[in-house]
Amino acid sequence: MVDVTEQRQAREKLEQTVSLLRATFDSITDGVLVVSKEQRLTAYNKRFQQLWEFPDDALQGAPDTQKSLEIALAQVKDPERFSARIREMYSDPDMEGVDIVELRNGRVFERTSMPQRLGSTIIGRIWSYRDITEERRAREKLERAASVLRATFDSIGDGVIVVDTNQRLTAYNKRFQQLWGLPDDVLLVNMDVTKAVTAAAPLVKDPERFITRLHEMFVVSDQVYVDTVEFLDGRILERTSLPQRLGSTIIGRVWSYRDVTEERHAKAEQERLFAAEQNAREQMEESFALLDTFLNNAPIGLGFLGRDLRFIRTNDALAALHGKTREEEVGRELREMTPYAASTIEPLMRRVMETGEPVIGLDMALEVPATPGQLRYWRVSYYPVRMKSGKVVGVGAVVVELTQERLAQVERERLLREAHEAIRIRDDFLSIASHELKTPLTPIKLHLQRLEQRCAAGQPVPPQLAQKALTQVERLTGVISDMLDSSQIEAGLLELERERLSLQELIREVLADFRPRSLHHPLEYEEYGEELVVQGDRGRLQQVLTNLLENARKYSPQKGPIRVALTGKGAEAIVSVADSGIGIPADQQAHLFERFFRARNAPVSGFGGLGLGLYISRHLVERHGGRIWVESETGQGATFRFTLPVED
Ligand code: ADP
């Protein structure tokens, strides 16, 4: 009897171990296939069967690997490579290797092949397959996501760099490299940031500040910083620094640099332009204010009109002429503002704009709304208004009023004429006065000589001789007393001696006195029925009537009749003396009663006279409260009338 207890115990132990191994073998997640040196299937586990989807009995009783290979080859994507790898592995028993097997159904296995050893002897080969489909997919997905992120990271316009809390560079993008001018092959990752900063500092304008700022920012904090970095080459980068987080932990800091050079330049340019525009506007406003001051205080009318002949600017003086205010006028058409003159002015302005030539100093006489009914005189000039380019954009009007000058000139001319007239009258007067004074002297002298001769010869002296001399003396006296009266009137010294007197009586006396001297002119008198009594100076009133009678006789060389009439009308007596002589031209009648005036149809050679009689008569009549006037036509005789207030 053999004690098999130990044997049995050993076998049981072995069985236990085998079953443990078997269970372990079947429970591992890799599919394992063990092949002997002779290429016979030694073992495989459940997972292997599952992975390759072998039917349960497929490998049962299959001593070689052929069948399993066939089943596998039918499933792999690249059977060639699959077999080649197997051959390669078997060619060298020591060889170990890992490769990837892709199946047609999309699954991916990681295949590990290693020698099976018993002690130091190689007794076979172990093939293990791990299904890495999910892992692979996850990795691919991750890689894709990472590549998208990377691409995004590299494609963004900002240069980004990430630094961990140990101040080591963890990532940066292409744009960062470009911005800092780093060659593609320079690897910054893992570099100490202090080194990188020191290397970059010379590129910027203020390196010291740049380094200090960066160090400030390296402090782990929640802080977000934004500032700008100016480069020596003129670029300006806007830098943003913010914490990098993983969940709620800060694991580093992200810096992003944005090139804002263009933006800043554009902004600066915009600000410059804005300032320039502002400046230009202020200057323009200043110029306009200045212009307005000049415009509005100018004593002349000034206005600017656009090509459409609307007022762009006008001053108070011009607007006032049109009867408008400046505000009313601006923006309105010339035609609307000056309807009375537009037909004259518009064509001129259009011509100025078309030819570019000014119209200067045009004289106009116009009635304007500001002063209706008054003709005023203007000198106007129109100038083309040009842009710097030379383009005519409108017309400027300058209107100077000449009315005052014109009136002054008219007045001056009138005064000059009067002065000439006065000189002429004085000269006439001198020559007439000399003539009038001298004329009686010659016959007086003759008469006196004849008287002397007769006396010397003891002959009798005929009274007519003395009478003739006396007549001439009277004529001389008349001339001299007219001159005296005239100067007394001028000096305001002529006195009147008034008394109650009957006009009928007075006229009769004068006519009786005059009749002998007017033998050649029939004298008619029409008396008034009622007694007309006046308060007057007898001698002076006789002088008035005598003067009218003498003129009627003197200026009637054809010796027509002289008609005297007296009438009463209300409180007035009217005395008239009419003749049928040379008459008086209409335009001379108004001046007839002026001192020294003589009508042009009464030359002194033909008629004599100083032009004082009517002047003295008017003065005397008016001093008596009456009026004197004439009605006449050239060649049709003249009727002089004067009135005197009568007493009840
Ligand atoms: P004179 O001494 O020249 O007559 P007057 O003052 O009496 O001066 O008259 C002024 C002028 O009036 C005269 O020179 C004459 O031209 C005109 N005149 C006066 N009376 C008559 C008249 N009856 N008929 C025409 N002209 C007259």
Within a 13 Å sphere around the CA of 46, how many CA atoms are in the beta-carbon half?
Answer: 9
Task: Compute, in angstroms, the gap from residue 645 CA to the centroid of ligand 1.
Answer: 25
Report pLDDT for 540: 97
Report pLDDT for 292: 81
Q: Which of 198-207, 425-434, 575-584 has the lowest mean pLDDT?
A: 425-434
Within a 13 Å sphere around the CA of 7, how many CA atoms are in the beta-carbon half?
Answer: 3
Task: Compute, in angstroms, the gap from residue 557 CA to the centroid of ligand 1.
Answer: 13
DSSP-derived letter for residue 201 is G
Which two three-digit tokens encode residue 300? 């002349």
3-state secondary structure of 493: coil
Element (H, E) at 10: helix 5-27
Task: Compute, in angstroms, the gap from residue 611 CA to the centroid of ligand 1.
Answer: 7
Report pLDDT for 23: 86
CB of 382 within 6 A of ligand 1: the answer is no
CB of 577 within 6 A of ligand 1: the answer is no
Nearest Cα residue to atom 19 of ligand 1:
551
Torsion angle defined by CA atoms of residues 293, 296, 299 and 301, in that order, rounded to the nearest 10 degrees: 130
Element (H, E) at 130: strand 121-131
Which of 435, 483, 555 has the most ligand 1 atoms within 8 A of CB, as the residue to mutate?
555
Report pLDDT for 231: 92
CB of 566 within 6 A of ligand 1: the answer is no
Task: Compute, in angstroms, the gap from residue 607 CA to the centroid of ligand 1.
Answer: 9
Task: Compute, in angstroms, the gap from residue 614 CA to the centroid of ligand 1.
Answer: 7
Task: Compute, in angstroms, the gap from residue 469 CA to the centroid of ligand 1.
Answer: 26
Q: What is the DSSP string of 338-400?
A: -TTTHHHHHHHHHHHHHH---EEEEEEEEE-TTSTT-EEEEEEEEEEEE-TTS-EEEEEEEEE
Nearest Cα residue to atom 8 of ligand 1:
611
Report pLDDT for 309: 94
Q: What is the DSSP string of 407-441?
A: HHHHHHHHHHHHHHHHHHHHHHHHHHHHHHHHHHH
CB of 615 within 6 A of ligand 1: the answer is yes
Specify the higher pLDDT residue, 628 or 14: 628
Report pLDDT for 182: 79
Burial degree of 623 (CB within 10 A; 0-12, 13-18, 19+): middle
Give the tens place of pLDDT for each residue, 449-472.
999 999 999 998 888 888 889 989
Q: What is the mean pLDDT of the chain?
A: 90
CB of 609 within 6 A of ligand 1: the answer is yes
Give the tens place of pLDDT for each residue, 105-144.
999 999 999 999 988 999 999 999 999 999 888 988 999 9
| 576 vs 568: CA distance, rounded Å | 11
Atom of ligand 1 nearest to the CA of 637: 24
Report pLDDT for 62: 61
- Is the pLDDT confidence value at 634 over 90? yes
Mean pLDDT for 229-257 is: 90
Within a 13 Å sphere around the CA of 123, how many CA atoms are in the beta-carbon half?
Answer: 9
Which two three-digit tokens encode residue 191? 């570099």
Nearest Cα residue to atom 20 of ligand 1:
551
Report pLDDT for 287: 85
Which of 598, 621, 630, 633 has the most ligand 1 atoms within 8 A of CB, as the residue to mutate?
598
Give the tens place of pLDDT for each residue, 20-51.
888 888 888 899 999 988 888 888 888 888 89
| 599 vs 632: CA distance, rounded Å | 12
- Is the pLDDT confidence value at 330 over 80? yes
Q: Which alpha helices (H) appear in 573-643, and where do they start and end?
A: 586-589, 604-607, 613-623
Report pLDDT for 485: 95
CB of 638 within 6 A of ligand 1: the answer is yes
- Is the pLDDT confidence value at 218 over 90? no
Task: Compute, in angstroms, the gap from residue 609 CA to the centroid of ligand 1.
Answer: 8
Give the predicted TM-score (pTM) of the model. Answer: 0.45
Any bridge partners for residue 110, and if so which? 100, 130
Coarse DSSP helix, strand, coil percentages of the chain, rounded to the nearest 5 percent: 45, 25, 25
Q: Are 240 and 226 in contact (CB under 8 A)?
A: yes
Radius of gyration of the chain (CA): 72
Q: Which alpha helices (H) appear in 182-260, and where do they start and end?
A: 193-200, 207-218
Atom of ligand 1 nearest to the CA of 583: 25
Task: Compute, in angstroms, the gap from residue 583 CA to the centroid of ligand 1.
Answer: 9
CB of 555 within 6 A of ligand 1: the answer is yes
Atom of ligand 1 nearest to the CA of 582: 25
Task: Compute, in angstroms, the gap from residue 640 CA to the centroid of ligand 1.
Answer: 11
Report pLDDT for 323: 87
CB of 592 within 6 A of ligand 1: the answer is yes
CB of 551 within 6 A of ligand 1: the answer is yes
Nearest Cα residue to atom 2 of ligand 1:
609
CB of 581 within 6 A of ligand 1: the answer is yes
Give the tens place of pLDDT for each residue, 473-500.
988 999 999 999 999 999 999 999 999 9
| 597 vs 347: CA distance, rounded Å | 52
Maximum Cα interatomic distance, the chain, rounded to a whole number of Å:
250
Atom of ligand 1 nearest to the CA of 617: 6
Report pLDDT for 122: 92
Nearest Cα residue to atom 21 of ligand 1:
551
| 27 vs 594: CA distance, rounded Å | 160
Report pLDDT for 187: 66
Atom of ligand 1 nearest to the CA of 611: 8
Give the tens place of pLDDT for each residue, 413-460.
999 999 998 888 788 778 888 888 888 899 999 999 999 999 999 998
Task: Compute, in angstroms, the gap from residue 596 CA to the centroid of ligand 1.
Answer: 10
Task: Compute, in angstroms, the gap from residue 509 CA to the centroid of ligand 1.
Answer: 23
Please report which confidence band the pLDDT of residue 633 belongs to, taking 50, 70 and 90 as the band edges. Answer: very high
Any bridge partners for residue 301, and if so which? 399
| 540 vs 66: CA distance, rounded Å | 182
Atom of ligand 1 nearest to the CA of 602: 16
Give the tens place of pLDDT for each residue, 258-292.
999 988 888 888 898 899 889 988 988 888 888 88
Please report which confidence band the pLDDT of residue 556 belongs to, taking 50, 70 and 90 as the band edges. Answer: very high
